[in-house]
């Protein structure tokens, strides 16, 4: 799986420097591939290619329907290679293969398909009668986009940016996380085969310092970033200094509220895949589980059984529910939070250690803490591992207050036999997405964060509008433009 080039201007080009990034298997701790580590010179080349493709290339001038045809071809080619891509991502970052197929690959192509459809029907130009006189309102591609993505759902997050950027007529410089560069090589092969014009997508594998060079590059018009809140604040400050457009999708600490009328067995069955999603390395993971005091013991018992029964295994084993964490430092971080939970007086109900039977790999047992108060560190900070906390509430108002008592506001859910009470609660929780008896995400509707979970929205028409600039052309009275 070794690679020695970057994908720039529609071609495979030699790196400017000699440094490499090692891709390490989270399951075996062995180096499985090496790729070049981009320098600022490589970024400059990638940005120049994207700039030229936007300023003088065919892509922004093509009709949205023509762009949609290329996007549909890319989707078809990705789907045809789904097994290879899913396996590559599982090998890079430890995602269970059952999740990788749907959550990493098909979720990405569904997003691409959604924007392919939207490109065909979106009103990129609109005539308005006006107050002072008639206008033509255009929505044009924002220009050169710097797309900076994390390691946890690399292709899916890439597509949240790439698909609307392509639909808008913009061009892209993509920087994958240094730990997960391989899936982006497969994407590059696909876009080349699909005939995407040169320079529309350029990919530089690099770490954060070189990433900052993309953020501050004067020829980049917009940054679309997904990652940690700490990095998001730094990137927002850098963009602010240049008044550069920027969208930030950051962390989360979502609360699942179990109401007293919920059927517990269907609730736990529905909740667990959302709580331990992607080894717990998911920004939307429902990791704070809120149960009323009257049912608290019963809920904790049911959760304990489900967490203890979540099979830990190798990423490529189809039976695996929880695989290894993506990096040694992530295991240290998660173990640090487990220690902190015990220290602050939470009751460890299940897990807390390393699973038996694994000599290698960055595995952590699926873990449940009970008797957690919302002030504890493990209830406030994003752990990004398979660690759940169960918090008791007094009544529905208290549950909503606990859900809202967070710096984050990305996602949440409520579990109930009465969907109307679910909607009533959803209206009161300050998060960007919300689920009733399920996951709160749909590709045709906006996704993003309140509070420190981000700025701006992805998905839906709102996600496209993040890559558009509006332009008003005031027309002479009585004139009808072609
Ligand atoms: P991270 O912030 O460390 O890195 C994310 C990406 O940004 C990487 O490519 C990294 O190299 C790059 N980067 C970091 N600092 C940078 C800088 N100053 N300039 C330019 N690039 C920089 O995050 P991570 O640990 O890779 O990802 C995990 C985080 O991502 C979690 O907090 C998670 O919640 C969040 N996340 C959010 C969403 C969402 O949609 N809200 C989705 C997935 C992950």
Q: How far is the CA of 228 from the centre of ligand 1 (A)?
A: 4
CA distances from 215 to 57, 223, 396 (A): 23, 6, 43
Phi, psi of 229 (to 5 degrees): -65, -35
CA distances from 32 to 24, 88, 161, 179, 357 (A): 6, 10, 28, 11, 22
pLDDT tens track of the chain, all 482 residues?
899 999 999 999 999 999 999 999 999 999 999 999 999 999 999 999 999 999 999 999 999 999 999 999 999 999 999 999 999 999 999 999 999 999 999 999 999 999 999 999 999 999 999 999 999 999 999 999 999 999 999 999 999 999 999 999 999 999 999 999 999 999 999 999 999 999 999 999 999 999 999 999 999 999 999 999 999 999 999 999 999 999 999 999 999 999 999 999 999 999 999 999 999 999 999 999 999 999 999 999 999 999 999 999 999 999 999 999 999 999 999 999 999 999 999 999 999 999 999 999 999 999 999 999 999 999 999 999 999 999 999 999 999 999 999 999 999 999 999 999 999 999 999 999 999 999 999 999 999 999 999 999 999 999 999 999 999 999 999 999 99
Query: Do the beta carbons of residue 468 and residue 139 sit within 8 Å?
Result: yes
Beta bridge partners of 138: 125, 471
pLDDT in tens, 371-392: 999 999 999 999 999 999 999 9
Q: Is 283 in the pocket of ligand 1 (CB under 6 A)?
A: yes
**What are the tokens at 3?**
């690679």
List, by residue number, the catalytic residues: 249, 283
Q: Is 296 in the pocket of ligand 1 (CB under 6 A)?
A: no
Residue nearest to atom 16 of ligand 1 (CA): 208
Q: Is 206 in the pocket of ligand 1 (CB under 6 A)?
A: no
pLDDT in tens, 426-445: 999 999 999 999 999 999 99
Between CA 319 and CA 100 the distance in angstroms is 13
Q: How far is the CA of 150 from the centre of ligand 1 (A)?
A: 5
Between CA 178 and CA 181 the distance in angstroms is 6
The answer to whether the pTM exceeds 0.95 is yes
Between CA 318 and CA 87 the distance in angstroms is 11
List strands edge to edge, sheet with 435-436. Answer: 347-350, 367-370, 387-393, 286-292, 254-258, 412-415, 435-436
Maximal CA-CA distance, the chain? 78
**What are the tokens at 374?**
């919302």
Between CA 77 and CA 169 the distance in angstroms is 21
């Amino acid at each position: 799986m070794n690679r020695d080039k970057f994908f720039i201007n529609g071609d495979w080009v030699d790196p400017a420097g000699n440094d490499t990034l090692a891709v390490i298997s989270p399951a075996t701790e062995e180096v499985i591939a090496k790729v070049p580590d981009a320098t600022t010179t490589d970024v400059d080349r990638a940005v120049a290619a994207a700039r030229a493709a936007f300023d003088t290339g065919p892509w922004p001038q093509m009709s949205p329907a023509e762009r949609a045809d290329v996007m549909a071809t890319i989707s078809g080619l990705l789907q045809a290679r789904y097994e290879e891509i899913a396996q590559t991502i599982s090998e890079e970052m430890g995602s269970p293969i059952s999740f990788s197929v749907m959550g990493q690959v098909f979720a990405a192509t569904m997003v691409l398909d959604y924007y392919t459809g939207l490109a065909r029907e979106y009103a990129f130009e609109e005539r308005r009668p006006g107050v002072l006189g008639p206008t033509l309102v255009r929505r044009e591609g924002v220009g050169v986009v710097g797309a900076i993505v994390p390691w946890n759902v690399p292709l899916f997050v890439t597509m949240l940016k790439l698909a609307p950027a392509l639909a808008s007529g913009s061009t892209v410089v993509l920087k994958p996380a240094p730990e997960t560069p391989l899936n982006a090589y497969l994407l590059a092969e696909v876009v080349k085969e699909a005939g995407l014009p040169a320079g529309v997508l350029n990919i530089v594998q690099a770490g954060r310092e070189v990433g900052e060079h993309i953020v501050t590059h004067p020829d980049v018009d917009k940054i679309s970033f997904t990652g940690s809140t700490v990095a998001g604040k730094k990137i927002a400050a850098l963009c602010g200094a240049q008044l550069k457009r920027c969208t930030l999708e950051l962390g989360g600490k979502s609360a699942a509220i179990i109401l007293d009328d919920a059927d517990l067995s269907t609730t736990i069955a529905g909740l667990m895949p959302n709580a331990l999603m992607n080894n717990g390395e998911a920004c939307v993971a429902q990791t704070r589980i809120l149960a009323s005091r009257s049912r608290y013991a019963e809920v904790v018992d049911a959760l304990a059984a489900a967490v203890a029964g979540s099979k830990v295994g190798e990423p490529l084993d189809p039976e695996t529910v929880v695989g290894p964490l993506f990096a040694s430092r992530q295991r240290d971080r998660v173990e640090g939070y487990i220690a902190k939970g015990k220290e602050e007086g939470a009751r460890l109900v299940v897990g807390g250690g390393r699973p038996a039977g694994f000599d290698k790999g960055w595995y952590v047992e699926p873990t449940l803490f009970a008797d957690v108060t919302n002030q504890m560190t493990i209830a406030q900070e994003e752990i990004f591992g398979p660690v759940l906390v169960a918090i008791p509430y007094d009544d529905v108002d208290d549950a909503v207050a606990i859900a809202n008592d967070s710096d984050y506001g990305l996602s949440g859910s409520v579990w109930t036999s009465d969907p109307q009470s679910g909607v009533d609660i959803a209206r009161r929780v300050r998060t960007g997405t919300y689920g009733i008896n399920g996951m709160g995400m749909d590709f045709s509707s906006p996704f993003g964060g309140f509070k420190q979970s981000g700025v701006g929205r992805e998905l839906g028409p709102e996600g496209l509008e993040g890559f558009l600039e509006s332009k008003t052309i005031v027309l002479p009275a009585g004139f009808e433009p072609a």
